[in-house]
A = this chain, B = another copy of it.
Amino acid sequence: MNKKIKIGIVGYGNLGKGAELAVKENADMELVAIFTRRKPDLLNTNTNVVHISNILDFKDKIDVMILCGGSLMDLDEQGPMIAENFNTVDSFDNHGRIPEYFEKINNIASKNKNLSLISVGWDPGLFSLNRLLGQCVLPNGKDYTFWGEGLSQGHSDAIRRVNGVKYGVQYTVPVKEALEKVRNCEILDTPICSRHKRICYVVCEDNEDKDRIEKEIKTMPNYFAEYDTTVFFISEEEFNKNHNEMPHGGFVIRAGNTGLEHKQKMEFNLTLDSNPEFTSSVLVAYARAVYKMTLEGKIGAITIFDIPLGYLSHKSMEELRKELL
């Protein structure tokens, strides 16, 4: 057997915990350590936990670092610092700032002869791949992304910022009729906000004015005002019982024509009980690809578009041709 791929995880929020579980599902990998800004003793895990200030002690002991910082701020700061010293995989998901982040990481990683895969997960990530595939195979067509049903972290945070809200979650739900139209290759020119509904579950503090809270949520610009938004007030018990998971999913659909009149539809969809566990499973599979590409001398920053999919597998290309083509 070959040597195992040595993995490090930076950050131990939902994503880091998911990555820890995912590494265990891959027999060709070994989790060397989790790096945290907290006191290492505080983490409830059997994995070796190291304070992030000691990360350089592991410079030659880890093949790929999986960056699981809990926020974009973490990645903005940690990404370049760690890419200077390690091969990395991250899920940087501020779509608008990807080119700038790519440049920064590319400079640092290239200079230090490391390889960094940025912005992988499911969106950006597998959804991006499918948008690309659709556009290339059916150039005469249109693609649509639907998100949900699923819990949106950003929108849940927005609800919780409203005065008088104790707990709150928001589920994004694709509008069924729009989804069916797209699946039937009808052209849909409506904006994203009319293709999704927003359902909110809110626990409010005692004696708060629910009408005011509902109005504040529904009129919040960018987050809710443009959407068909429903707010349900529930008890703390119900909240704890039914809203402590992080399901998500979505659809990428490319509908196009070939020849004179033939409709063709490509669809990729995900139904996820746990968004962070799935995202981290993608990160772990792509960590293997990064490792394989470093063996070939590849350096700098790359994205999911640069990676031959065979590199994701622990199997040889020969086995893949035989078993999976």
Contacts and interface: CB of A to CB of B under 8 A. Distances in A.
Interface of A: 18, 21-22, 25-26, 95, 98-99, 102, 119, 124, 126, 128-133, 135-140, 183, 258-259, 261-274, 277-278, 281-282, 285, 288, 303-310, 312-313, 317-318, 320-322, 324-325
A305 B278 contact: no
A102 B21 contact: no
Contacts of A99: 318, 321-322
Given A139-B26, A321-B98, A313 B278 contact: no
A308 B307 contact: yes
B268 A136 contact: no
Nearest to A269: B267
Nearest to A265: B271
Contacts of A303: 310, 317, 320-321, 325
A270 B258 CA distance: 14
Nearest to A17: B259
A214 B5 CA distance: 58
Given A99-B318, A270-B266, A324 B132 contact: yes
B264 A277 contact: yes
B322 A98 contact: yes
Contact of A267 (B95, B268, B277): B268
A142 to B, nearest CB: 14
Given A264-B274, A308-B308, 16 more contacts: A25-B140, A25-B258, A98-B322, A130-B268, A132-B320, A135-B313, A266-B268, A267-B269, A269-B269, A303-B310, A303-B317, A303-B325, A305-B320, A306-B308, A306-B310, A307-B308
Given A18-B258, A273-B262, A126 B133 contact: yes
A267 B324 CA distance: 16
A298 to B, nearest CB: 11
Nearest to A284: B137
Contacts of A18: 258-259
A301 B312 CA distance: 20
A249 to B, nearest CB: 8
B259 A312 contact: no
A273 B136 CA distance: 18
Contact of A21 (B137, B259, B281, B313): B259
A124 B128 CA distance: 22
For the complex of A and B, list the 9 residue pairs with the smallest distance between their C-beta atoms, beginning with the closest.
A305-B310, A262-B274, A262-B273, A136-B312, A258-B277, A136-B285, A124-B325, A265-B271, A25-B139
A95 to B, nearest CB: 6
A288 B261 CA distance: 24
Q: Which of A288, A321, A322, A325 has the most CB of B within 10 A?
A: A325
Nearest to A143: B324
Contacts of A305: 308-310, 317, 320-321, 324-325
